[in-house]
Amino acid sequence: MKTRKIFPNTATDQSADAAAAQSVSLPMTPKRRVAFYLRHSTTAQNSDSQLKELHAVATNRGWRVVEIFEDAGVSGAKGRDERKALDAMLKAASRGEFEILCCFSIDRLGRSLQHLITTVNDLHALGIEIFFTQQNIDTTTPSGKLIFNVFASFASFEREMIRSRVVAGIALAKAKGVKLGRPPSVTHQTRNAIEELYKKGMSVKRIAKSLSCGVGTTVMTLKDRGLYA
C-alpha cells in the first residue's frame, strides 16, 4: 500500500529526532470506483465524445473507472427490460461493483421521467451516487439531491394527473350511459333461450350444455328473471 509522510512546519534548527517523531505515515485514500453509462439512439451514432468527457471528469475528480456500460442504437424511452446495458449496470450496482455512476447527460440515462426516477431511486437505494456532466448534477452534494427530489415530485404529480384523468373519463362515460368493463359473454338471445328451455322443463345442466354456456350463467339468468330461487 502506498504511504505518504506529513511533516510539520518546524524551525530549521529542530533536531532530526524531533522531526522524525512528528512524521506520520498514512495510507493513501483509495480512489472511488466509478462506472460510465453511455447510450445513443441510432447505430449511425457513436459514444466517443461522451466517453472522452466522462474520462476527463473521472481524471479531474480522482475516480477510478472500473466498468463502462453502453446501449447502442437504443431509445432512451425504452425501459430496463429493453436496454441490456442498463440492466447489466443495475445488476453490477446491486453487487457493489462501483460507487458512482457517471453519465454524459440526463437523457442518456432515460427520456421517460418515470423510468428515469425509477432508475435513480434504485441506484440510491443501493448507495450509488450519480453525476451528470452536461447538467453538472452531482447527487453526492445536497444541491444535487434536491434537484432529484424535485424530479421525483414531478413524477408523482404526473402519476396523479393520469389517475385523475382516468377517473374523470370513467365518470363522464357513466354519465353518458356507457357500460364499462368486459362485454357480456352471453347474448340477449341466449338468455331468452335459457328462459324458454327452462320453462319447457329442461334441467339447468342440460340447458347449459345445449347452449354452450356455463351452469353459473344459466342460473344467474334464471334468477335475474325470477325463475330460479
Catalytic residues, which ones?
Answer: 41
**Secondary structure class of 48 (helix, strand, coil):** helix
DSSP labels for 109-172? H-SSHHHHHHHHHHHHHTT-EEEETTTTEETTSHHHHHHHHHHHHHHHHHHHHHHHHHHHHHHH
**CA–CA separation, 26 and 171 (whole Å):** 70
Beta-carbon-side half-sphere exposure of residue 192 (alpha carbons within 13 Å) = 3
Running DSSP on this structure, what letter comes out for residue 33? E
Inter-residue contact 105 to 132 (CB < 8 Å): yes
